[in-house]
Amino acid sequence: MEYRIEKDTMGEMQVPADRYWAAQTQRSFQNFRIGDEVMPREITRAFGILKKAAALANYKLGKLPEEKKNAIATACDEVIAGTLNSHFPLVVWQTGSGTQSNMNANEVIANRGNEIAGKKLLHPNDDINKSQSSNDTFPTAMHIAAVMAIEDNLFPAMDTLIATLQRLEAENEGIVKSGRTHLQDAVPIAFSQEISGWRNMVEKTKAQLTLALGGLKELALGGTAVGTGLNAPKGFAEEVAAQVSELTGKKFVTAENKYHALTAKDELVFAHGALKALACNLMKIANDVRWLASGPRDGLGEIFIPENEPGSSIMPGKVNPTQCESMTMVAVQVMANDVAVGVGASQGNFELNVFMPVIIYNFLQSVRLLADGIVSFEKNCVTGIKANKEKMKHNLYNSLMLVTALNPYIGYENAAKTAKKAYKENISLKEACVALGFLTAEKFDEVFRPEEMAYPQK
């Protein structure tokens, strides 16, 4: 491999000749050989956006000449497009402020910009990092990446799942089955009503995430080192937020309190709480689906789900609810990530949080897993759910909890006696009720209408 010599304030470093990074990136690359978790590409892209926005703002405020602005903007476009991803090699497990990743962006953009300009035009610190600090750029990149991941990847996946559940509701309207509480038989419920509960779980968590986006759209940029804005020109914070908004098509604003923006990560904790809530709801939905599909002969068997692949290497013909299992494992990982995000956010000492890389790594992994998991779950499982009407009807009429419909006519205690007699003697509720003398056979038939129990207000 061929090398070139790059210099920083600590001296010379050998850097691979075909890489755009320079000395500070190389030092980090050599000093933190920990794991293989590279800084998320969403952060790389966010750095491209914020560095371009900063250059445009500095130019507009008279702090950067047009030639430099143009070279920076062109190089940043390549960062945003992902064509320079191989020039961002640093792992998550580095300085807690993300300083080396900020310098990685500065060096790559400077060297690529110089190549574009055909001369030594740009300096990583003096030009690319002008009016900025790692302490305000990394939290800004975190927020940009989080907002874009949620709005552009997670929300579309959630919307598709919601639409599929709405379709299933309509298709299954009027099909009544046994409800279940405590894993025990309960009073009747329409299958469409059960599905509506699943749908509203996704809708509710989308609303919670939408609420959380307000805080994530506040940017720390302009606070520089400790929140005072040292070395940033007046109006820079507002202008750079406007430029980020223009570049992303999303409304970002400058954070009202930069001291808070640098040291606290509560907006990410709040937003990840909504991600955890979504994970919890998806865990519940996936578990419901696999329980209802259990069988095919010795389980509940009330729904059919798509059969995607063989389920056993030893039991021929076995097909398992693999999409449900995948979805629930995603949920477990997101719940675990929430611990890392929360603990990391609690480490804001004095003017800076120094757990930012691990916070955003876990946050973005959660969004990515949820988005991908929902797409797979919807496409390969939920969309193909079919009601087993015969099994639902059988289970419904075999349920002892239908006796609840008799409460207004024979009272709670007599209804309990009826259910216990029917269970003990393995006879029907009607036979037990008539045998106990609580109702005549004719009156029982008049008041006992299981399907209507799911719609008591009609």
- Residue 161: which of 379, 385, 384 has the closest Cα? 379
End-to-end CA distance of the chain: 79
**Amino acid in position 409:** Y
Three-state SS letters, 296-353: CCCCCCCEECCCCCECCCCCCCCECCHHHHHHHHHHHHHHHHHHHHHHHHCCEECCEE
**DSSP string across 153-221:** IIHHHHHHHHHHHHHHHHHTTT-EEEEEETTEEEEEEEHHHHHHHHHHHHHHHHHHHHHHHHHHTEE-T
Contact criterion met (CB below 8 Å) for 248 and 179: no
Contact criterion met (CB below 8 Å) for 209 and 275: yes
Contact criterion met (CB below 8 Å) for 155 and 206: yes
User: What are the Cα distances from residue 365, in Å, to 51, 97, 178, 413?
Assistant: 24, 19, 38, 54
Integer Cα distance of 53 and 42 in angstroms:
16
Structure tokens at 250: 């999303």
Task: Give me the sign of the Cα torsion angle 133, 57, 361, 264.
Answer: positive
Contact criterion met (CB below 8 Å) for 187 and 415: no
Packed helices 356-380 and 322-345: angle between N→C axes, nearest 10 degrees: 160
Integer Cα distance of 357 and 224 in angstroms:
18
Catalytic residue among 86, 87, 123, 182: 182
| 272 among known catalytic residues | no
| 312 among known catalytic residues | yes
User: What are the Cα distances from residue 265, in Å, to 26, 45, 106?
Assistant: 29, 21, 24
Task: Give me the sign of the Cα torsion angle 63, 67, 73, 76.
Answer: negative
Catalytic residue among 143, 178, 196, 312: 312
Work out the number of other CB atoms within 10 angstroms of the CB of residue 70: 16
Contact criterion met (CB below 8 Å) for 123 and 110: yes
User: What are the Cα distances from residue 388, in Å, to 176, 194, 333, 339?
Assistant: 11, 15, 32, 40
Catalytic residue numbers read: 182, 312
